[in-house]
Amino acid sequence: SQPDHPSFLAALSPAFDLSAIRPVENQKTCTNISVHFTLYGILGVIFFVFLFQWWKNEFISWDPVQCGTDKISLPKEKFWIPDIVINEFMEENKAPSVPYLYLYNDGKIKDTFPVRVVSSCNLNIYTFPFDIQNCSLTFNSYVYYGESLPLNPKTITELSKNVMTTMGEWELVDITAQKLVNNDDMFSVQVRVRRRATMYVVNLLLPSCFLITLDLFSFLLPAESTDRSSFKMTLILGYTVFLLIMNDLLPVTGNTIPLINVFFSLCLALMVASLLETILITNLLSNSADFSPVPRWIRILVLNCLGCLVCMPQKTEKTMSVVAEMKADEGTGTEGPAEEDEALMELKSLSRVLQAIRCEVEQQQNGKQSSEEWIQVGFIIDRLLFGLYIAFISVSFFTIIIVWIKSYNQ
């Protein structure tokens, strides 16, 4: 309520005439400014803030009993106002202005006004979408120095959480304020906000996990079937379209590459590697008979080492050989020399035929063994990639859970 004394405003007129100077009787006296910071809205990098400034005007005081009130609201232009600014302003303050302030009987002045801060917050998006950002708002005066205008910051985290009207994708964690070292006329307010990750998990991570799991189970399809490669190509095409559609949800600013981008790249790389491996397996199963024998280094690396690693050791083949043992009968004494010569010639002819058959059989067996070795190489690579798929999905799943839980415990 306004005071009823008719000469009250007339008594304040001399103080109004001194609105251009700092309201102290001695200019060496400091004017202590108390700044209350209350955050009531977060939208992207835009903060909606209520600022409360307190200071004392030494030129004004009255008796509240005689004047009928202990405070009065008056226009701001009649008083000296401290030039407190926020250094991180990227745009002009577009919040509505408050033309009045409160003047108390002891000379204290309370100035309240909203501020719309478009901040140049340095985002650390490595753990996106489970990131916690620490945005700094620095307050200081451009005209006055610390010895004449010391600032006393006061923040109310719980009050900010209670009056918060909109947070968008952000959740307020806490607000802290501290004076900068060796600089009394400047203080910094640290606003810690946590991103709400549910939307990104549902729209980005879960579909990626579903597609990569579907590609994992495609290994159960017969390797010799062309349906397997067609299925994998369809998955790669679908995953690429999915990334293009969801690209707008990914952050475009920051000093580091987000971990989620690495996850998407690895998923796509595994799908492409799976398709290439399927093409290789199909080629080996279809044309292994025409290949040259398996090189020694592939036999050692793949068949021996990797085969034991994926529990597919090299099979031991039983090689068959045709051995013709020719024994000449000495006869019973009833055969003549002419008959012995004729029998010997027939045996030699039969020996040459058997040797030709033996060489052909050994050649066929070597070709069959080489074909089976190439097929074994393909199956070992197939199972190795299957194991890598399982390991990657398991590690990614537990990493997402751990990072998510850790972000909410901070």
pLDDT per position as a tens digit, 37-55:
888 888 777 888 888 888 9
Cα-Cα-Cα-Cα torsion 382, 387, 391, 394, nearest 10 degrees, comes to 100
Residue 325 has pLDDT above 50, yes or no: no
Question: Tokens representing 159?
Answer: 């009050």
The verdict on domain 5-195 having CATH code 3.30.70.890 is: no
| Delimiting residues of CATH 2.70.170.10 domain(s) in the chain | 5-195
pLDDT band at 322 (very low <50, low <70, confident <90, very high): very low
| Percent of the chain clearing pLDDT 70 (strictly above) | 80
The pLDDT, as a whole number, for residue 286 is 76
Q: Report pTM.
A: 0.67
- List the one residue out of 226, 85, 88 whose CA is nearest residue 142: 85
Contact 157, 173 (CB under 8 A): no
> Where is 382: in which H helix or E strand?
helix 337-409
- Is pLDDT larger for residue 102 or for residue 68? 102
Structure tokens of 174? 């806490």
Q: Tokens at residue 84, please? A: 């407190």
Q: Which residue has the tokens 């340095």?
A: 122
CB within 8 A of 53, min separation 6: which ones? 33, 34, 35, 36, 82, 84, 109, 110, 111, 112
> Which amino acid is present at 212?
I
Section 254-274 average pLDDT: 85
pLDDT of amino acid 11? 75
Distance, in Å, from the CA atom of 174 to the CA atom of 156, rounded to the nearest integer, reads: 9
For residue 129, whether the previous peptide bond is cis, meaning omega lies within 30 degrees of 0, is yes
Q: What is d(CA 368, CA 120) in angstroms, rounded to the nearest whole number?
A: 70
